[in-house]
Amino acid sequence: MKSPLVIAVPKGRILSEALPLLAAAGIVPEPAFSDEDSRALRFATNRADIDLIRVRAFDVATFVAHGAAQLGIVGSDVLMEFAYAELYAPVDLGIGHCRVSVAEPADMAAKDDPRGWSHVRIATKYPGITRRHFEARGVQAECVKLNGAMELAPILGLAPRIVDLVSSGRTLKENGLVEVETIAEVSSRLVVNRTAFKTRAEVVGLVDAFRAAVAEKVAA
Ligand SMILES: Nc1ncnc2c1ncn2[C@@H]1O[C@H](COP(=O)(O)OP(=O)(O)OP(=O)(O)O)[C@@H](O)[C@H]1O
Ligand SMILES: O=P(O)(O)OC[C@H]1O[C@H](OP(=O)(O)OP(=O)(O)O)[C@H](O)[C@@H]1O
């Protein structure tokens, strides 16, 4: 028998929205998958030919790009950051909606004009997206890489501006920051390893199942 297909899912906030979509696509993980006390990382499902792995959001892209997992669920922010050529993203899952934005302290924004920037220092988890965004209009971005709590950077003098995800805007507001530019709208995508897509027929069937699950959700 062929080895099971591996689907990588992020363990953070997307998971609760992804599970109903997986179920609608006919994939239900074993109970240990939702058990917070479980230390297991790879899980069987109701389908003998499919396993799930639970990894960090950024690592979903890495596992699938290298073919260690054949499919995955990941935010388009992560896809933009890495731009892996081996990743094919055929289905917008319509979950995990937010945006990647530039933000700065409210008092700074009151007198700031983004058109006048020539060099910016930015704290971010997304140095790739940030550099490309600013380079496209001739602005040099010096990035300080953080893995979370970017909103602290301006207050503590690490960098005057940040590039981070914004959804309700509450995190910015509670930290005295305002959004000054939206770089991109974000949603989660089904990603597939291009080689697996060509060589394993079951992958094509699964992509169709996810597409149907999304269409069903939209129609409901
Ligand atoms: N506030 C938000 N609203 C909607 N979607 C979000 C929001 N924040 C993040 N996301 C989406 O969820 C994905 C995972 O984010 P999450 O915050 O759960 O993980 P993380 O904290 O980056 O992960 P890790 O703990 O592994 O570093 C992001 O890549 C993005 O696509
Ligand atoms: O606009 P809002 O609705 O407030 O959402 C934005 C926040 O959500 C994300 O962080 P998350 O809560 O995932 O924590 P993290 O810093 O661990 O990534 C993001 O990094 C922002 O901090």
Q: For residue 114, what pLDDT band results from cuts at 50, 70 and 90?
A: confident
Ligand nearest to the CA of 12: 1
Do 144 and 162 sit in the same domain of this protein? Answer: yes
> What distance in Å separates the CA atoms of residue 3 and residue 51, rounded to the nearest whole number?
10
Do 91 and 197 sit in the same domain of this protein? Answer: yes
| Average of per-residue pLDDT values in the chain | 96
pLDDT at 28: 98
pLDDT at 68: 98
Number of domains in the chain: 2
Residue 179 sits in which domain range? 98-186
State the DSSP string of 51-81.
EEEEE-HHHHHHHHHTTSSSEEEEEHHHHHH
Half-sphere exposure of 81 (CA within 13 A, CB side): 21
Do 55 and 92 sit in the same domain of this protein? Answer: yes
H/E stretch holding 164? strand 161-166
User: What are the two backbone dihedrals, phi and then psi, of residue 7, each rounded to the nearest 5 degrees?
Assistant: -110, 125
pLDDT in tens, 56-109: 999 999 999 999 999 999 999 999 999 899 999 999 999 999 999 999 999 999
Integer-rounded Cα Rg, in Å, for the chain is 19
pLDDT at 12: 83
**CATH number of the domain that residue 139 is part of:** 3.40.190.10
Mean pLDDT across 127-139: 97
Do 180 and 196 sit in the same domain of this protein? Answer: no
Do 87 and 105 sit in the same domain of this protein? Answer: no
Please tell me the distance between residue 1's alpha carbon and the centre of ligand 1 in angstroms: 36
Do 87 and 102 sit in the same domain of this protein? Answer: no
pLDDT in tens, 31-58: 999 888 889 999 999 999 999 999 999 9
pLDDT at 34: 87
- Interface pTM, i.e. ipTM: 0.95
Q: Give the distance from CA 43 to its chain's centroid.
A: 22
Does residue 125 carry a pLDDT above 90?
yes
> What distance in Å separates the CA atoms of residue 121 and residue 194, rounded to the nearest whole number?
36
Q: Is the CB of 170 under 6 A from ligand 2?
A: yes
Do 104 and 156 sit in the same domain of this protein? Answer: yes
Question: What atom of ligand 1 comes closest to residue 78's alpha carbon?
Answer: 29
Using CA positions, which residue lies closest to atom 1 of ligand 1?
A: 167
Q: By C-alpha distance, which of 134, 131, 135, 148 is closest to 56? A: 148
Percentage, residues of the chain above pLDDT 90? 90
pLDDT at 120: 97
Does residue 1 carry a pLDDT above 80?
no
Q: For residue 21, what pLDDT band results from cuts at 50, 70 and 90?
A: very high
Do 138 and 174 sit in the same domain of this protein? Answer: yes
Pairing verdict, β 42-44 and 71-75: unpaired
Do 27 and 81 sit in the same domain of this protein? Answer: yes
Percentage, residues of the chain above pLDDT 70? 100
Do 86 and 11 sit in the same domain of this protein? Answer: yes
pLDDT at 187: 98
Instruction: Take residue 138 and report the two structure tokens written for it.
Output: 């001739």
Do 16 and 84 sit in the same domain of this protein? Answer: yes
Claim: this prediction has a pTM higher than 0.80:
yes
Using CA positions, which residue lies closest to atom 10 of ligand 1?
A: 96
Do 84 and 22 sit in the same domain of this protein? Answer: yes
Ligand nearest to the CA of 62: 1
Sign of the four-CA dihedral 179, 123, 85, 218 = negative
> What distance in Å separates the CA atoms of residue 46 and residue 99, rounded to the nearest whole number?
34
Q: Is the CB of 11 under 6 A from ligand 2?
A: no
